[in-house]
Each structure stands twice: as C-alpha cells, then as structure tokens.
Amino acid sequence: MGKTKNNKFKRPSFSPDGLPATPVKQTGDESEDEDSPAAELLDKLQSPSADVREYACASISRVVQQSQTIPGFLQRDAVRKIGPLLLDRSLAVRETAAGALRNLSACGGPEVCEDMVRQDALTPLSALLRECCTGFDMSSSPTMKGQKRTVEDVANEAVNLLWNLCESSSTAVSVFNKAGLLDVLLHCLQRHPQNMELAISAAHCMHTVTEENEELVRNVNAAVFGVLENILSSTHTSMEYTLLRTLAAGSLWNLKSGLSSAQQSQTLTALTTTLSHSLSLDAGELIPELWHAESARLSKETTSATESDHTDARPAGHEAEEMEEDVRDEKMNGRKPNERMSKPKNDISDLLPRDRLELREAKALLSAQQTSLEIIVNMCCSDEPSDDEWEEMSSSDESEVCADGMSDTNSSLFSPLCLSAELHTILLNHSIPQQILKKAEFPSAAALELCSKYPTWKCLLKKMHRVQCRALTCLHNILSSMDTESLDGASGLQAVAQHLSSLVFSSAEALKDEEFLEAVTSALRSLLQIMATKNIPQCMTPHQLMIFCEAATSCELVSVRVNALAILGITGSSLSKEKNTADTLQLIGSALLNIAVKDSNLVVCGEALDALFDVFADGDEAEKAGKNMNLLSSLKALQPGFRAKVCLKPTINITTDTNNLIYHIHTPEQ
C-alpha cells in the first residue's frame, strides 16, 4: 500500500470563507464612481472632529465586509489614510481605525495583507502597540479622561490586526521579528488578570508568530518561557483560562528548540498536562449547564434596554470576528480558497457582547479543545519528511515504518513519522488517546438540540463539528504511533473501527461533508491498516463497504477518494485470506477497475491500481475471483487509457507469477 502523509495543521495563504479566490482587483467601475462609499468615508478621515473620524472608521469597518467594495478603498490609498489614525489623539478613533484595518485584512485576503505590509501599516501599528503597553498602568493619565474606550480596548484591536497580518504575510512576520514585537505580546499576555480578552488575543497571535519561526526562536530568552510557564501553572478554572493555557502550551511547543534537553522534558510534561485537562472537559455536559446559567442570569435583568446598552457597547471592528474564525479554520485545514465558498457573514446579530459571559465561556471551551487537538496533531508529525522523501518511501509497506509504535533512536524527543518513546509514554500517561477517541464522537444530542434551538448559541454547532473533525485527524496521526495494547487491544481496535464506520453512515449529510469525510476516512484508513498488520478481523460489511466507496469516490476532494480506495484495498486484502469471500472480492475488484478507468485524476487511478494489486496479491479466494472477472485481460485493456493520462507516456507491464500479480510503471527520463 502507498504511504499516507500525516496531516499537520499549518497556516497557508490567508483566504476568508466566502470571498473570491482570485486577488482583489484594483480596477473596475468602483474606482470610477466618485459617489462610492469609499470616497466619502475616506474624505471624512481628515475631519477636524474626532467624532466624525470615529464614525468614518467604524463605517469603513462595516463596509469592507462586502468584498466588492474593497477595490474602491485600495485604489484611494485607504491603508495610508487610515494608518496615521492609529496614533490619533482620540482613543476611540485609534480603536476604530485599528478595527477598520483589521476587517480590511480579514476580508481582503493575502494580497491585501501583503499590500498593507508594503504600505508600511506595521510602523504605526507597532508604535500604537508600544504606546498601549506603556499606558496599561497609567489609567489616571490625562489622555484617558473623558474617553469611553480604554487603552486595553485599543490594544485588543491592534493585536488582532497584527495577528491577521502575521498569519497572512511572511513579510509581516519578518517585520515582527525585527521590531521586537514579541515583548509587546508578552505585556498583553500578562494582562490576563485584568483583561482576559486582550490576553487571549495576544496568545492567539503568539501561537501564530512562533510557528516555524527559527529567527524568533534564536532570540527567545528565559523571560519568554517564564511568562508562558506561569500561565500554564495558573489554577483558574474558567473556560477562558483553559483556552489561554492551551494557547500558551502551543507557543511553548513551537519554541521548544530554544530549551535544553532537560527543560524540554519538563516542559513537555507540563504542556501535555494542559492539553489533557482541556480535552477531559465534557462539552456535551458543560454547554447545557452554561446555557441554563445564562438563562437564569438574564431572567433577572429588569429591562431589555440594559441588554441593548451592553450590545451597543461592543467596540467597532469586531464585525468580522466570526468571519476571521471561519477563515482561520479553513487555513488550518489547508483548503484552497475556492474549495469551500459561502456568502460572507454580514449579519452581526449573533456576535458576542461582553455580557454574554456563559456563551463566551462555551466558545472558549470549544476553541481550547480544537487548539489542543491541533497541537497534538503537530506533535505527532513533527519534522515530517519532504514531499520527495514521501515519494521515495511510497513503495514500501506502511507496516515497515515503526510498526511497534516506537522510535529506534533516543537521540531526540522527536523523530520523523513516529513518536519518541518518551513522548509516547507521556501521551499514554495522560490518557490522550482515550480522550481523542471521545472527542471523535458526535457531540451529545442534548447540546446539539439546544444550540440548534437558540439562535445566539447556534454558532457553537460549527465549533462542535470542528472539534470532532480535529479529533478524527488527530486519531489518524496517533494510530501509527501507538501500540495495540495502548488502545485496549484487538477488541478496542475493533470497537473504534465500528464507531468510525457508524460515523460514516450516520446520516446522508455526513456523506456530503467533505471536511468530515476527509477526517474520518483518514482515521479509518490508518486503523484498518493497523488491524490488517495485526490480523485483526475487519468490521465493515460488503454492503457498507460498497455504499461507502460509492459515496467517497464521488467526492471532489482527491484525498477522500484516495482514502476510500485504500480502505477498499486493505479490506479486500484481509478478506482474501478468509474462506468463501470470492464474490465479495470480485465486487471490490470490479469497483476498483471501474475507478481506475474512469477517474480523471492520475493519483486516484494509481491508488485504484495499487489497491487492486493488494486485493489480488495472494490467496485461493483472490485467484478464484480474479479468474471469474478476467482480471488480467481487464488490466491489459485499461493500459491505453491509463497511458493517455500520463504526459510522459509510461509503459505498464502486467505479468503473473503463480497467484501474485505484479505491475510496473516505467516512466522514461525527460
């Protein structure tokens, strides 16, 4: 069987959900329309009245959520006109200016972010952040008197803007390093006793900028590790603190190479303890409890005007917060901009005002669990080989690579493809595999029903789904690194396989969800491969297998189709060793042949052939099925079509050796 590359959560090019896949054009009718909102609002930025400037920035924050308006702002040099307002005399103007640029960066895509960096948006932003840090302990400063906003409100918008730019632009990360902005984030992190919202924003940003940032790691000092470790050791039990600790753990993982070997071991234990605590929380129980707590509290409110005042107090610049979360999720999935499109979110009725404490806690809990699973995924595929190395290994059997789940070297905590013995033990001691299995289950029916019923809590449905998908991806990564007994032996593996199969066939909607299908098929493929190497009986019936194959191979995602074919190959190979399975093998073989002929993707065709030869490699039942379906003749007949799909016109030689089918694809040198 061919290799499967463990998924790793990276941050590829930024592209918000629902926005065009192509760069935002700076030409068009918008630029010629002098009555456009861009022209009017940008003119108001020059007003001597702070209220007018604030109004203009807040309006721009809302308008740029309509992607078609962005070119008009870019053509009129919006970034250079809004940038100086980051240092305006009015804190309200500073905050709304940061919010306008934040939304522009979130809704404009990577090209806009790069353009913002080129236009030097980071210079005033850096100055603003440093001024904010200086002002954190100066609440009685004259600049604060009479202001509705606080320095920390401004800092929160600025940090979110910095986060967007660094997540979307490698140039921004380079500027971040040279400007020494890590100290700014540390200041914001240390405000968690006074302002958790700011601290979490800073933690998110730090988690982003520390990822694969060797220049930053070289300059990290003990003070940085001290701040992060102090957060990890905090004992607060709120969900927001759980999220903060989880993000700090992610940053520590990213910076681990800056620690000595002894420190690495100690930090790894503390880090895993944090992740384990996050995953041990039962969102299915906690979400209904939080909803009831919110209902009881809000029922004591005497007037609806009080709630309205709280809602209106939400600072401008938050309008794209939900969109940003969707965008970051798409990026961590590694999806291309045009793979999943929906209308941009412009209805801000379900955004979270600061009085929705319980809902904020629920969101923080799910974000913490999602982040924990992403960190574990990256822990399990650290130092992954390059694409060329994967290609070289693709001809060897998966069972040859760390079949016992252990690394053969103790020179480092982390080695390619497999967990080190130490990390393996730490994960087991913290019951991480079992917690991942629990998160792979659907959220509780009670939580789903509640969130579906109440509009303001409906945003949690997508978050619960994300946690499940991350857990399935995580399960895929850890399976090859865990020995059988750590997953409760053969019976435990069979139970997991039955569960994953039930997830696939749980509903018609599940078979249409590409993200879910990719996660669950990857996990099921890894599990079935392990079961095959251990001679543990498979769990899917022939009927289920064919329904699954038909649904999965019609999916647009190549990875899902490849996983489905691999599952067919693994299952068929196992069945070929059993009695009275020729009919089922013939059914599987016909399906694989059909896909090898008809699928337009060469990788999928190759996987179909790979699976086909695994199924019919050996065994009396395989030989019987192969003869019944004239397999050899069918394989020779597909050569012309397969050859036409390969631009270099390789030759496929198919020969027989007793019961074994052998195929070779020869590609001439260019």
Alpha helices in 347-506 (DSSP H): 357-380, 387-393, 421-429, 432-439, 445-453, 459-479, 489-504
Name the band, by pLDDT with cuts 50, 70 and 90, for residue 598. confident
Q: Which residues are within 8 A (CB) of 268 and not within 5 positions of it... i.e. 6 or more apart? A: 256, 413, 422, 423, 426
Q: Distances from the Cα of 525 to the Cαs of 384, 404, 500, 512, 568, in angstroms?
A: 19, 18, 10, 19, 9
Mean pLDDT of 398-403: 37
Q: Let me know the angle formed at the C-alpha of 233 by 230 and 235, rounded to the nearest 5 degrees.
A: 120
pLDDT per residue over 297-307, tens digit each?
888 765 554 54
| pLDDT computed for residue 106 by the predictor | 93
* pLDDT of 326: 65
Check residue 12 and give its pLDDT.
42
Query: pLDDT for 628-646, tens place per residue?
Result: 988 888 888 877 776 776 6
SS3 242: helix
Q: From CA 275, how far away is CA 375, in angstroms rounded?
A: 8
Q: What mean pLDDT comes out for the span 518-539?
A: 87
- Whether pLDDT at 28 is above 60: no
Residue located via tokens 């400007």: 179
Mean pLDDT over 216-223 rounds to: 91
* DSSP-based three-state secondary structure for 386: coil
CA quadruple 585, 587, 588, 594: dihedral sign: positive
In the numeric block, the tokens 């379900």 are attached to: 350
- Kindly list the distances between the CA atom of residue 658 and the CA atoms of 147, 223, 407, 618, 661, in Å, as whole numbers in the listed order: 86, 68, 37, 9, 8
Question: Rounded to an integer, what distance in angstroms lies between the CA atom of residue 144 and that of residue 47?
Answer: 22
Local structure of 419: helix, strand or coil: strand
pLDDT more than 70, % of the chain: 73
Residues 39-50 have a mean pLDDT of: 94
CB atoms within 10 A of CB 300: 6
Residue 322: the pLDDT is 63
Q: What is the pLDDT of residues 538-595, one digit of tens each?
A: 777 777 777 777 877 788 889 989 999 999 999 899 888 888 889 989 999 998 988 8
Q: Which pLDDT band, with edges at 50, 70 and 90, does 125 fall under? A: very high
Rounded Cα gap, residues 174 and 256, in angstroms: 20
- pLDDT of 414 reads 37
pLDDT-based confidence at 344, cuts 50/70/90?
very low
Residue pLDDT, tens place only, 479-525: 866 766 767 778 888 888 888 888 877 767 777 788 888 998 899 99
Instruction: Give the mean model confidence (pLDDT) for residues 602-608.
Output: 89
pLDDT score, position 294: 92
Q: What separation, in Å, do the N-terminal and C-terminal C-alpha atoms of the chain show?
A: 27
Residue 332: what pLDDT? 56
Contacts with 514 (C-beta within 8 Å, 6 or more apart), sequence order: 339, 340, 555, 556, 557, 560
**Banded pLDDT at 380 (limits 50, 70, 90):** confident
What pLDDT shows up at residue 442?
Answer: 75
DSSP string, 540-603: --HHHHHHHHHHHHTSS-HHHHHHHHHHHHHHHHHHTTSSS-HHHHHHHHHHHHHHHHH-S-HH
35 vs 569, higher pLDDT: 569
Cβ of 318: how many Cβ atoms within 10 Å?
Answer: 20
What's the confidence (pLDDT) of residue 513? 82
Neighbour tally for 135: CB within 10 Å: 18
pLDDT bracket for residue 309 (50, 70, 90): low
Q: Around Cβ 22, how many Cβ atoms within 10 Å?
A: 10
Asked whether residue 237 carries a pLDDT value surpassing 60, the answer given is yes
Q: 391: pLDDT confidence band, cut at 50, 70 and 90?
A: very low
589: amino acid identity, one letter: G
pLDDT at 345 over 70: no
pLDDT score of 416 more than 70: no
Confidence of residue 333 (pLDDT cuts 50, 70, 90): low
Helix (H, G, I), strand (E, B) or coil at 662: strand
Q: Work out the pLDDT band at 92, boundaries 50, 70, 90.
A: very high
- Give the H/E segment covering residue 538: none
Task: For residue range 245-297, list pLDDT tens digits in order.
Answer: 999 999 999 999 998 888 888 888 999 999 999 999 999 999 999 999 999 88
Examine the pLDDT at 386 and tell me if it is beyond 50.
Answer: no
CA distances from 581 to 119, 193, 585, 612, 657 (A): 67, 65, 6, 15, 22
* Among 442, 460, 444, 440, CA closest to 452: 460
**Are residues 224 and 189 in contact, defined by beta-carbon separation less than 8 angstroms?**
no
Place of tokens 């969900």: 239
Q: What is the mean pLDDT of residues 436-454?
A: 88
CB-CB contact of 96 with 64 (8 Å): no
Contact 273, 430 (CB under 8 A): yes
Q: What does CATH list as the number for 36-138+150-211?
A: 1.25.10.10
| CA angle (50 as vertex; 46, 52 as ends), nearest 5 | 65
